[in-house]
Homo-oligomer: A and B are copies of this chain.
Amino acid sequence: MSWRKEQRRAERGYHHGNLKEALLQAALGLIAEKGAAGFTFADAARMAGVSPAAPYRHFRDRDELLSSIAQRGFEQFEARLTAAWDDGRPDTVTAFERVGKAYLAFAREEPAFYSAMFESGLPVDANPALMAAGERAFGVIRAAAERLAALTPPGTPRPPAMMMALHIWSMSHGVASLFSRGDAARRKLPMSPDELLEAEVLIYLRGLGFPIERRPTTKTAEPPPVPPEASSGSASSPGGTSGPWGKLK
């Protein structure tokens, strides 16, 4: 019955060699499976083949492991947002849209990180490193908003970039939390979360004075804001998703 543990130990010796990393990986899998709340320190230890007390050599407590994962999550999040922004290429609005998509994609594809980052109830402000990592991720959005704000058409007042960034963040986060995760994703929607967010952002930008076309067919001087690869996984809108609400009504 317990030969398994002996076997494990025979395979790897008394010392694990890379327990910290193994625990992080195990936790990541467990959180993805059962959520940040359901994740268990003991389970992670079991999965790594060590005793329940072993993790305490690498993390002060369960929360510190969770924080470590959240921090890694923010770092990967920042990297993905930065890649999506691509310094505003090929044009600012297109890149901006891509950042929003990347936000949703991250929430969808990295549920464990997302969960640790936003749904674990961790005291963010108690951990400076964690807060800084989150700040850096938000910095990508803010930088993009700054570039976008500088682009407001002449004649229209220039919105504060910080406010724009906070608006975009709240839209992305709202859509991700409500429609792009877990059970909520199964809600009946007239459009995909990606399309929903895209329309939302485009309408918002038009409200700021940006010349966004109202229908997929009519175009302005700017190139179409959605690159081809972004249409993957989208069930509706065969006419394209470049307008604020595609072919809907």
Contacts and interface: CB of A to CB of B under 8 A. Distances in A.
A140 to B, nearest CB: 16
Contact of A199 (B124, B167, B171): B167
A103 B184 CA distance: 19
A170 B167 CA distance: 11
A136 interface: no
A20 to B, nearest CB: 25
A229 to B, nearest CB: 24
Contact of A203 (B35, B162, B204): B204
Interface string A140-163: 000000000000000011111011
Contact of A179 (B35, B170, B208, B244): B170
A173 interface: yes
**For A35, A36, A170, A199, which residue has the most chain B Cβ atoms within 10 angstroms?**
A170
B124 A121 contact: no
Given A119-B121, A190-B162, A249-B158, A204 B214 contact: no
Given A125-B183, A158-B249, A248-B160, A166 B203 contact: no
A205 interface: yes
Contacts of A171: 167, 170-171, 174, 200
Given A160-B245, A163-B190, A214-B157, A173 B177 contact: yes
Contacts of A184: 124
A206 interface: yes
Contacts of A159: 203, 244-245, 249
Q: How large is the interface on A (under 10, 10 to 19, 20 to 34, 35 or more residues)?
A: 35 or more
A169 interface: yes
Given A183-B123, A205-B207, A170 B190 contact: no
A215 interface: yes
Contacts of A205: 207
A57 interface: no
Interface string A66-81: 0000000000000000
6 contacts: A123-B183, A124-B183, A125-B186, A160-B249, A166-B196, A177-B177
